[in-house]
Amino acid sequence: MGTIIDLFHYDFFLNAFWASLFAAITCGIVGTYIVARRIVFISGGITHASFGGIGIGYFLGWNPLFGAAIFSVLSGLGIQYFTRAGRLREDSSIAIWWSLGMAIGIIFIYLSPGYAPNLMSYLFGSILTVSSTEIWIMAGLSLVLVAFFTLMYRAILYVAFNEEFAKTTGLPVNLINYILISLIAVTIVMNIRVVGIILIMSLLTLPQATANLFTHDFRHMMLYSVGFAFIGSFAGLLFSFYADIPSGASIIFTLVLLFGIMKGVTLLLNRQKRNHAR
């Protein structure tokens, strides 16, 4: 067992390090928006719907992530469209896409010749086998997200906080919503390889819940979330390496632990503050 520095001599570990950094940036930013807008359930729908794309990708012999990308963007837009134009209740609309995607995925994987060996890595993630190409794509996505959320910060914040009021101030609310739901979908797909479909929700919500303990300001929440997401995923990565357990589950476990510790810290701080006040 070498030191942490030694680990960086391994390509696979270096890749995993970059993957956890970019996962933290993308999920930290997008997750803050998801949590603030209370659309965690929509994100769950998109995540699971993308499984349909993975199944079709396998069946056709494409890169399954390509299929997942198409499916998640379509389901993201579909949920919004069904709800708005089809007058369907939003949670029902989400459930339809959620289950339809899973069903299509299962059917096509069943129909695909041979055994699908990497299936587990899509369900539970496999940060240690992330390729350099995938790292570059995630780096690109990080750049796009940072740029978009910086340049459009006030428009995003105002639409998220009070859609109807934002409309009266002349903001293109629907356009902004569609762009954001597409960015959510792409972020989810790119992070499937890191933590997997089943566990991705926690990378989009746990660092944000932790950040929310310390701030109620959207911009600080994005920043802290990225920080907590990175600490959690890198520590989880090390933990999985030394304890020889699956990385995705290990990262989630670390994120929960981090939340628990920080919750304890804030409770102690508050008690101290109250004692001082006395």
Residues 22-41, mask of contacts with another protein (x by CB under 8 A): ----------x---x-x---
Find the farthest-apart pair of alpha carbons in the chain and give their distance in angstroms, rounded: 72
Which region, judged by CB under 8 A, interacts with another protein, from 149-157, 245-253, 256-264, 265-273?
149-157
Q: What is the DSSP letter of 112?
A: S
Which region, judged by CB under 8 A, interacts with another protein, from 91-99, 164-172, 198-206, 244-252?
164-172
Distance, in Å, from the CA atom of 64 to the CA atom of 190, rounded to the nearest integer, reads 11
Tell me if 271 contacts another protein by CB under 8 A. Answer: no
Q: What is the DSSP letter of 62?
A: S
8 A C-beta contact, residue 25 and residue 146? yes
Q: Which is nearer to another protein, 62 or 218 (CB)?
A: 218
Q: Which is nearer to another protein, 133 or 168 (CB)?
A: 168
Out of 63, 153, 175, 242, point to the residue binding another protein (CB under 8 A): 153
State in angstroms the smallest separation of the CB of 184 from another protein: 17
Tell me if 158 contacts another protein by CB under 8 A. Answer: yes
Total of chain residues touching another protein, rule CB under 8 A: 30
8 A C-beta contact, residue 49 and residue 100? yes
Angle, helices 132-151/173-195, rounded to nearest 10 degrees: 150
The token duo for 34 is 């998801």
Out of 1, 3, 115, 164, point to the residue binding another protein (CB under 8 A): 164
Nearest Cα neighbor of 96 from 119, 70, 74, 66 is: 74
Out of 66, 144, 212, 227, point to the residue binding another protein (CB under 8 A): 212
Number of Cα atoms under 13 Å in the Cβ half of residue 202: 22
Tell me if 112 contacts another protein by CB under 8 A. Answer: no
Give the dihedral sign, CA 22/25/29/31.
positive
Residues that bind another protein (CB under 8 A): 32, 36, 38, 149-158, 160-162, 164-170, 212, 215-219, 221
